[in-house]
Amino acid sequence: MTNQPEKEPIEANVEITTDDAYPALWVRLVDEMIEGGITFGTKYAIAHLVDRLACQAESIAFGIAISNINDELIESGLYLSAREQHGEGYIVLMADGAEDIARSRVRRSFREMARACKLFGGIARNPDAQITEETKQRLLKCEEKSAIRLALMRAPITSARKANLLE
């Protein structure tokens, strides 16, 4: 007996789906977009995106794929959006539109950090929480760290540079 591979193929009843695609279909699409010369104002029809991503435009998988695509594009200042496309497709926002998105995310991050800070403290101070003293102290430290982070986020960039936080 030898360890030579069999010459006959092994038959298996296995269905390969788009979930098994490697690299992921959205990664392939990003590569195609880059090769095609994606820039501000580039438009993509819904039918094209649905075909390339192999999922329906209304599906969660489609939304996740668009989000993943944007995660790859944002380092170049590009942002794919359905804004004002009336359901016909997506467009790479012009620089001012992408800037609006960035500013919106900054405002949202401030709100979310403030909420997290309050929630840490609220849990720690709620007598009905039934938590140990150790957990209470941990949550209070989390509240304090969140408050410091929030304060640093709100500090002007010049102050952060002076404190050597951005170098």
pTM over 0.95: no
Amino acid code (one letter) for 32:
E
Last residue of a domain, one of 54, 74, 93: 93
Please indicate, yes or no, whether residues 104 and 136 belong to a single structural domain of this protein: yes
Does pLDDT of 160 surpass 70?
no
Please answer whether residues 62 and 105 qualify as being in contact, where contact means their C-beta atoms are separated by less than 8 angstroms.
Answer: no
The answer to whether residue 88 sits within a structural domain is yes
Please indicate, yes or no, whether residues 102 and 118 belong to a single structural domain of this protein: yes
Please indicate, yes or no, whether residues 141 and 81 belong to a single structural domain of this protein: no
Please indicate, yes or no, whether residues 101 and 89 belong to a single structural domain of this protein: no
pLDDT for 1 equals 46
| pLDDT tens for each residue of 17-49 | 555 567 889 999 999 999 999 999 999 999 999
| pLDDT tens for each residue of 104-121 | 999 999 999 999 999 999
Expressed as residue numbers, the domain containing 104 is: 96-160
Please indicate, yes or no, whether residues 88 and 37 belong to a single structural domain of this protein: yes
pLDDT for 134 equals 95
* Token pair listed for 99: 């800037």
The answer to whether residue 13 sits within a structural domain is no
Spell out a b/e string for 132-160, using b for 16 or more CB atoms within 10 Å of the CB, else e.
Answer: eeeeeeebeebbeebbeebeeeeeeeeee
Cα distance between residue 6 and residue 146, in whole Å: 61
- Can the peptide bond before residue 127 be classed as cis, meaning omega within 30 degrees of 0? no
In terms of pLDDT, which residue wins out, 46 or 7? Answer: 46
Last residue of a domain, one of 71, 93, 115: 93
Please indicate, yes or no, whether residues 23 and 69 belong to a single structural domain of this protein: yes
Mean pLDDT throughout 56-75? Answer: 94
